[in-house]
Structure 1
């Protein structure tokens, strides 16, 4: 009797066929934390976010400067010639004056509110940078597990191709001995061709996944460590949607940043309204120069002439009361009010979005827990269904189409199982990001379940399922 096709046989065939391709030394395999660290050091988007933060926080010293003393110094050098009509004569004088001016704001309400707004913007920028840094944790995980997902998908398509190839060989053998007609051979050939096309597409998806990792880290990778099937599939802690929503409302970084955006808009509105308020500055100046420079030696000068250098000191207060500026101040206040309304509405929209995402992700993780178990059981059921269909085909109660469909369903179940595993991992991280609790420690926790010698062609299937299939085959042989 021809040996029946099973997932275990296909896995063995695919692993053997690709053994030479998996010769990279374990030392070059990259783990999840290494990918994140490379991304943190080399990611262009994060570098741009850091530069943006550094630029925006400069608004604080710039605004503070408007409340601090302003000191300036300068010099003037003049050469003046004067022609007189009666009597006809020409006079000339020249001189140099050195001067220093000091101004200290005493009451500048608009500048004080400007400083408050700048400080709020700086806090907003710091939180947005933290949100970008936190998002990089998730991006690193998504890029990393996209590779593992693509590799497992490729491994399953290789196993499927091997299974369809064996089915084609079996169909040819049965045709040669007269147990089936040419239709079975053609159906098996079509199934094999389709599986081969899927394997080629899956290979490109693996390469694309590695390319995305290069974009993220600016470094090329040959292979990465895989995740073990022993990773615990657990419900969220706490397993309460309201608790997660409350945590997100208090700790979500983007939501916190939006609070400071509102604060900045409020202070800006106060600044614009303060444009109607009077200002008071203390001023002082000092000048020193010769007579000519001060104009004191002019014969027409009615005051006392001085025969040496002259110095002049001035100390006083300057009061400015705005009366009318063409409606500019009122217009700026109205604009600031609308900007405040805009920032408040954006914050409310973001709050609703955070609540929605948190609830959705909470449900997604709980669904993923059940889905992983169901998908795993589906593999077992489809294995049994395939073996039963193969028996029916050999005794003539099933046709080749039934066998091919059963094989497709089995490998689809395998891919769905691996997709559910990776969805569970990433949705867990997304839930923590929405709640504002995601940290590199979460990647370290996942790193404990990475397998340095992971071989997708061998390990895409849970070990116990593969061994169970092999045991059944050995018992039947």
Structure 2
């Protein structure tokens, strides 16, 4: 008797027996966009990246401060005791004073280049944050579809277990009436035990996939919406690797960030070289205190008059500083900056090559995935027809039980390969867009149109037309 695959996927084997998929309680299922929104709000890595950006952007006002006026104030309380031997005189003098100093850099080449480097670092930090945000989109999709992949794998594994259980029951029945020997029973038992062990592993993989989603979003999910089988499986647009590589060279966020890293290294080199240049500052100072504190000299000492009042001093001028020798520090810093610039340039070149390689590989992968999905789907039809033919041969004595078990195993392997190729296609598409720098939340919204709210893996892990296509294909066989 023919056993359609559609019958196998309608039931799932549990420790208590067979449970119809229609009897499984339904729960509210979360969609892809909602999971991404939770991740964007609660992901710890993204929060850390935002804090890092907030800290790194402060380098700009810190560098700008070196070019802005600097105002300081101070006060002094002093007590001085003076003792003379000839003649023997001892005096105590005390005084208080306060001062305010205003300094305005006029020519500070090193600080100007430092500001330029800081602005480049700020742009680099902003792009790296954007790259982290973009990567979260891909992480969300990877974790979401990892759950769906694991659930579909579990559904096919349960269906396989059910099929081997029926084969075991049939072998026992045939053995009881003398139509087969004990070997058939043992072979069927071994296949069933293996399928049962695989089902236990598949159940754990589903739990692991959900746990990864919890880590990403800090939220627990009971069920997720699944992907309908009408999802378009199409080649990339445009289907030209060179165009994708050119787009990646312009828009890849990590590559753009390294461009600013090189700019920052170049400005830092200029800053270090400027350490040899003179500096000019405008300085204004106001001081007020008694004559003892400020060192005021008595203008008429010959008259025997001692001045004891307060003194005010105001000064304004330019300060020129010419570096001559600093123990080799400046020259060493210049050499260091040269090496850091070379390092950054080589890192950019390495990343550029990686981006080109990844983009080409992912473009090739998407095209392969398109062919794989169609080929794997046809493989299911062919393997189902082969199983039906093998079962008939077993019933009439031209095939043995090993042939039947192998045919069943190949059928469910093809089922898993088909579902894996579907999810590989979805994720490789997103990875290609990330490499090109065009990945955005809109891509998740576009995928959301092909999610099914009432998706049941035990019922929907295969296209509904496969069983009918397989039966028709079998009928055409001679």
* Structure 1 counterpart SS, 2:10: helix
User: Where does 1:116-265 land on structure 2 (aligned, <5 Å)?
Assistant: 116-265=116-265
User: Where does 1:79-94 land on structure 2 (aligned, <5 Å)?
Assistant: 79-94=79-94
Q: CA offset at residue 328 of structure 1?
A: 1.3
User: Where does 1:350-429 land on structure 2 (aligned, <5 Å)?
Assistant: 350-429=351-430
State how far apart, in whole Å, the 1-side matches of 2:425 and 2:210 are.
Answer: 21
State how far apart, in whole Å, the 1-side matches of 2:309 and 2:135 are.
Answer: 72
> Is the alpha carbon distance of 1:25 and 1:13 closer, same or farther for their aligned partners in structure 2, counting shifts above 3 Å?
closer
Give deviations 1:297-325, integer Å, cap 9, x for gaps: 88997898544321100111111111111
Q: CA offset at residue 7 of structure 1?
A: 1.3
> Is the alpha carbon distance of 1:297 and 1:250 closer, same or farther for their aligned partners in structure 2, counting shifts above 3 Å?
closer
Structure 1 match to 2:2:
4
Structure 2 match to 1:78:
78
* TM-score, normalising length: structure 1: 0.95
* Structure 1 counterpart SS, 2:77: strand
User: Where does 1:79-118 land on structure 2 (aligned, <5 Å)?
Assistant: 79-118=79-118
Structure 2 match to 1:17:
19
State how far apart, in whole Å, the 2-side matches of 1:365 and 1:305 are.
Answer: 96
State how far apart, in whole Å, the 1-side matches of 2:232 and 2:353 are.
Answer: 32
Q: CA offset at residue 470 of structure 1?
A: 8.3
State whether residues 286 and 312 of structure 1, in contact with CA within 8 Å, keep that contact through their aligned partners in structure 2: yes
> Is the alpha carbon distance of 1:321 and 1:463 closer, same or farther for their aligned partners in structure 2, counting shifts above 3 Å?
same
State how far apart, in whole Å, the 1-side matches of 2:189 and 2:170 are.
Answer: 11
Q: CA offset at residue 4 of structure 1?
A: 2.6
> Is the alpha carbon distance of 1:470 and 1:381 closer, same or farther for their aligned partners in structure 2, counting shifts above 3 Å?
closer
Structure 2 match to 1:339:
340
- The root-mean-square deviation of aligned C-alpha atoms, in Å, is 2.0
User: Where does 1:273-352 land on structure 2 (aligned, <5 Å)?
Assistant: 273-296=273-296, 305-352=306-353
Q: CA offset at residue 24 of structure 1?
A: 3.9
Structure 1 match to 2:444:
443
Q: CA offset at residue 77 of structure 1?
A: 1.0
State how far apart, in whole Å, the 2-side matches of 1:244 and 1:116 are.
Answer: 33
State how far apart, in whole Å, the 1-side matches of 2:348 and 2:418 are.
Answer: 39
State how far apart, in whole Å, the 1-side matches of 2:325 and 2:89 are.
Answer: 49
* Structure 1 counterpart SS, 2:259: helix
* Structure 1 counterpart SS, 2:41: helix
State how far apart, in whole Å, the 2-side matches of 1:295 and 1:246 are.
Answer: 72
Q: CA offset at residue 221 of structure 1?
A: 1.1
> Is the alpha carbon distance of 1:145 and 1:184 closer, same or farther for their aligned partners in structure 2, counting shifts above 3 Å?
same
Q: How many residues align?
A: 469
* Structure 1 counterpart SS, 2:12: helix
Give deviations 1:197-218, integer Å, cap 9, x for gaps: 0000000000000010011111
State whether residues 296 and 311 of structure 2, in contact with CA within 8 Å, keep that contact through their aligned partners in structure 1: no
Q: CA offset at residue 327 of structure 1?
A: 1.5
State how far apart, in whole Å, the 2-side matches of 1:145 and 1:18 are.
Answer: 25
Q: CA offset at residue 80 of structure 1?
A: 2.0
State whether residues 79 and 92 of structure 1, in contact with CA within 8 Å, keep that contact through their aligned partners in structure 2: yes
Structure 1 match to 2:268:
268
State whether residues 282 and 318 of structure 2, in contact with CA within 8 Å, keep that contact through their aligned partners in structure 1: yes
State how far apart, in whole Å, the 2-side matches of 1:471 and 1:75 are.
Answer: 100
> Is the alpha carbon distance of 1:23 and 1:201 closer, same or farther for their aligned partners in structure 2, counting shifts above 3 Å?
same
Gaps (5+ residues) in structure 1? none
> Is the alpha carbon distance of 1:302 and 1:270 closer, same or farther for their aligned partners in structure 2, counting shifts above 3 Å?
farther
1:67 aligns with 2:67: yes
* Structure 2 counterpart SS, 1:186: helix
Give deviations 1:133-188, integer Å, cap 9, x for gaps: 00000000000000000000000000000000000011111111111111001000
Q: CA offset at residue 10 of structure 1?
A: 1.1
State how far apart, in whole Å, the 1-side matches of 2:329 and 2:268 are.
Answer: 15
Q: Which moved more, 1:441-450 or 1:331-340?
A: 331-340
State whether residues 4 and 467 of structure 2, in contact with CA within 8 Å, keep that contact through their aligned partners in structure 1: no
Q: CA offset at residue 17 of structure 1?
A: 1.8
* Structure 2 counterpart SS, 1:409: helix
State whether residues 292 and 298 of structure 1, in contact with CA within 8 Å, keep that contact through their aligned partners in structure 2: no
